[in-house]
Amino acid sequence: MVALVVPTGTASAAPASAVRTQEQRIEVAGGPGTTGPVSLDTTLYLPAVTPAPAVLVAHGFGGSKASVDPDARDLAARGFVVLTWSARGFGASTGQISLDDPDHEVADARALVDWLAARPDVTQDGPGDPRVGVTGGSYGGALALLLAGYDRRIDAIAPVITWNDLGQALFPNAATTAPLPSGTPARGAFAPDGVFKRGWAGLFFSAGLGPADPAPNGPDPGAAPAGAAGPVGGSAQGGPALPGGPAPAGEPLTCGRFTTQVCAAYTESATTGRLSPATAALLQRSSPSTVTNRITAPTLLVQGEQDTLFGLDQADANARQIAATGTPVKVLWYGGGHDGGAPDAAVREAIGDWFDFHLAHTGTDPGTGFGYTVQSGVRTNGSAPNSRTVEATGYPGISGAAPVESRRLGLEGPEQVALNPAGGNPAAITSLPGIGGALGSLAGRLTSATAEVPGQSAQFRTAALGEPVLVAGAPRVDVSVARVPGQPAPAEAILFARTFEVAPDGLRTLLGNAVAPFRVAVPADGSPARATVTLPGVVAPVEAGNHLVVSVGTTDQAYASGTEPAVWRIGLSGDAALTVPVVPGEAVTANTVPLLPLIGIAVVLALALLAWIVARIVGRRSAAGTVAAADPGAPPLEIHTLAKTYRGGFSAVKDVSFTVRKGMVLGLLGPNGAGKTTVLRMLMGLIRPTAGTITAFGEPVAPGAPVLARIGAFVEGPGFLPHLSGVDNLRLYWAATGRPAAEAHLDEALRIAGLGASVQRRVGTYSQGMRQRLAIAQAMLGLPELLVLDEPTNGLDPPQIHAMREVLHRYAAGGRTVLISSHLLAEVEQTCTHVVVMHHGEVVADGTVDDIIAGGGAATFGVDAPDRAAAVLSGLAGVHAVSVDGGSVHAELNGTPRASAVRALVTAGVDVASAGPRRRLEDAFLQLVEEDAGTMDAAP
């Protein structure tokens, strides 16, 4: 192993503030079964001001401390002392991988807490008790939970996309003595050892077989495979990893850096496909479910919605178990995961805010609410799906006892014969590790040779739906499985249930991009075994006229299917219905959303959608009752001495003031990092300013303020339903506001947007330009008096940009006001009447476009007598740098009004054909910010 050179106090730059780093090795006890101490490769990040609370940032499986460097720097910039390390067996650390074992990886983390307790630059709550939080993704997230359960000194945690019960995660529907995750089906005739998730387990194991890290200070060895997530800046599941060295002498090369026990458990599971008691006990030791009942640290749980490794049920179980002890718990679900991508900036900000409040005791109490991302499924130019975020005041299941409603959809279909081929091959393909969501969505649209292999499944369908149905949660179905007389069949069946939405044209969509595996013991006498199967949890609006198909198949590539040839007779049992959780129908107020008992993940998803709808209804109706009292003469927007300062001293916005008056089309400009997006977020009530005020139409702007109903906004990607037409999407959106349909001015908004007959087509067929224009039309619904648009022409071609310019001109021509944030300077010059230029969080220019372009007074005059004109201009006080260029004369007016120069020329007998600024807006902008054009960015 290459020795690590240990410099001390190495300075390194970090956004917003100087962050110093110190790299060192820390020796910890090897633990039971080891022959000596373990050397951990660590990095300490020191903020500008100490002492300060500390945060441990743990990396994902297959990663190293380098994987989480960006996240560590972000937290250090907020003012925290941050410690990262490569877990034993990874990066440049020594030791063997024990899967977050309490006597090994968890003990290592406890030793690091001891180390922090001896440092004067870390805030101490008492002797040997540093104030410390823990965060990490996947492998690191489980470490955060386990450490909080074993060490009462931990003051706050933020685990990301991790597990509750590792046995349940890798062997779904396995019997266990630990509390089962919410949504686990009734046992019925299920076998006790679940179905092995071999695809993910194999990827985990392969991540521990690599060679030694050849360059501890070189490229990050924990880079995730293509398409996979890197939670909290690091690899979630590994990929081609480079752990800390070759196998120890005497250890099998097939074990890599794993301990003998972990190696033996994987070998047994991979060869038998079963969960033995010994493996169950080993995985149980690494399961947070063993300690959730003693976690007292306030817990922020972040889980991904695109995750075939650790599903939403794992976070749900953690939330219920931790909250049951009275510990504060907040839950965030985002539109990524092991299959869908790392947490976005909003999630990372939420983690920082959590530690600000619970460790630094600053900022606003983040509470114990619930946030959830709803994805439309529409992708533009290969980008991530458009989405919207909904919020509820609390996480369902923590308290309350209201009943949960459900809808039963009748299923049709006789008993059917399904074959299990020898070796389980060929197998259906619905997901693969790291790209499960993307492939699952694709597989639902492919031929039966992939998502459904001919002859390997029984399928049951509902009638065509007479009205739309929101599948919100984990549906359930009762099935029967029996042998076929005279045909081969082992003692049990391994089956895979999945749900498709099928359109009249045959288009199939796999709901949830996932399957529910289960084993069922089948009687030898030919009588059927019956079991209730819980299907994957989803939020999926199913269009009227479509029907749902429940498929029960015998193979799936991601799992250990049955290898013995078998023939099964599969049918429906019970009342032959698909039970679908639905949103309760009682009305609620904006501030008193009732909490319902958690049944699986159904209520969580349903309540999230309900909360979003209710918030929109209440906000719009409240606004309708208050707008009459507004000052009719107040400008649409006034920003006065606005500031936003983050912990660590970084001021994103400093003393910003400007006014947007009626009829203006104002462009908000600035280079990357200027603070434009922060201003827009404060304007829309998404974040609170540190100082200053924002008023719209004379009323203060704050989160949930009624006056926001008078503002239309397109700040983030729109979330449209691809199977609905453009006009139906707009009608559905407006219905959610609770306002009368006549107030939508739908036809007028569509006419301004200029979409024509295309509004009758499905949005899934739209080009990016059409979706952008539909998003603008959605923001224009109700004809809001102030329209706020962030990069409305982003990704459009020149004809589309020209069309968008005309859209905005038509809208402002009606006496309304438009605020645009854009990086396309030439477009702003042609579209906007006024400009505000920001730089380093401050306003450096504010005025009409012509005034900004004129700047110091560089002007050009088209005249009939250039030489005489040059002489006249040269004689004016202050005017200089006069030059003749053909029929034009250029001059620096240096404060002399352009009108005065024209008057002097006409008085001298010079005919003036034109008079205007010499520069373009780009020239003026670059002079103002003193940066080159390469620094411009669409998302400061």
Q: What is the pLDDT of residues 719-766, one digit of tens each?
A: 687 778 888 888 888 877 767 888 888 888 888 777 788 888 888 888
For 256-275, the pLDDT digits (tens) are: 889 999 999 988 988 888 88
Cis peptide before 517 (omega within 30 of 0): no
- How, if at all, do strands 299-304 and 154-160 pair? parallel
Residue 764: is it exposed, middle or buried by C-beta count within 10 angstroms (0-12/13-18/19+)? middle
Query: What pLDDT, on the 0 to 100 scale, is given for residue 434?
Result: 58
DSSP 705-745: -GGGGGEEEE-S-----TTSBHHHHHHHHHHHHTS-GGGG-
Q: Quick one: 860 and 813 in the same domain?
A: no
Query: What pLDDT, on the 0 to 100 scale, is given for residue 333?
Result: 80
- How, if at all, do strands 547-553 and 132-137 pair? unpaired
Residue 623 lies in a domain: no
Helices then strands (H, E): number in the chain? 21, 40
Greater model confidence, 435 or 538: 538
pLDDT tier, 223 (very low <50, low <70, confident <90, very high otherwise) = very low
Domain end point (choices 533, 557, 581): 581
Domain that holds residue 268: 10-368
Query: 101-106: which pairs have CB atoms within 8 A and are 24 or more residues apart?
Result: 101/31, 101/285, 101/286, 102/146, 102/150, 102/285, 103/31, 103/32, 104/31, 104/34, 104/259, 105/143, 106/143, 106/146, 106/147, 106/150
Q: Give the three-class secondary structure for 117.
A: helix
Q: Quick one: 349 and 473 in the same domain?
A: no
* 221-230, 386-395, 411-420, 441-450: least confidently modelled range: 221-230
Q: What is the CATH number of the domain that holds 882?
A: 3.30.70.100
Q: Quick one: 728 and 757 in the same domain?
A: yes
Query: What pLDDT, on the 0 to 100 scale, is given for residue 869?
Result: 92
| C-alpha span between 892 and 886 (Å, rounded) | 18
Query: What pLDDT, on the 0 to 100 scale, is given for residue 460?
Result: 96
434: which DSSP letter? T
Q: Are 339 and 375 in contact (CB under 8 A)?
A: no
Residue 241 lies in a domain: yes
Q: Quick one: 101 and 153 in the same domain?
A: yes
What is the rounded average pLDDT of the residues 637-666? 86
Residue 862 lies in a domain: yes
Q: Quick one: 182 and 268 in the same domain?
A: yes
Q: Quick one: 798 and 681 in the same domain?
A: yes
What is the rounded average pLDDT of the residues 478-502? 91
Q: Quick one: 704 and 577 in the same domain?
A: no
pLDDT tier, 405 (very low <50, low <70, confident <90, very high otherwise) = low
Provide the residue type at 754 as one letter: G
Query: What pLDDT, on the 0 to 100 scale, is given for residue 86?
Result: 96
Q: Quick one: 65 and 168 in the same domain?
A: yes
Q: At what angle do helices 798-813 and 768-780 cross, to 10 degrees?
A: 10
Q: Quick one: 875 and 762 in the same domain?
A: no
Taking CA atoms, 27 is separated from 108, 194, 243, in Å, by: 9, 39, 18
Strand order in the sheet with 888-892: 880-885, 888-892, 858-863, 912-917
Q: What is the CATH number of the domain that holds 571?
A: 2.60.120.260
Residue 871 lies in a domain: yes
Greater model confidence, 251 or 300: 300
**pTM of the model as a whole:** 0.58
Provide the residue type at 407 as one letter: R
For 10-22, the pLDDT digits (tens) are: 333 334 447 899 9
Residue 630 lies in a domain: no
Whether the pLDDT of residue 611 is over 90: the answer is no
Q: Give the three-class secondary structure for 619.
A: helix
Q: How many domains does the chain have?
A: 4
Strands (E), 781-879: 786-790, 817-821, 834-839, 842-848, 858-863
Q: At what angle do helices 798-813 and 746-753 cross, to 10 degrees?
A: 140
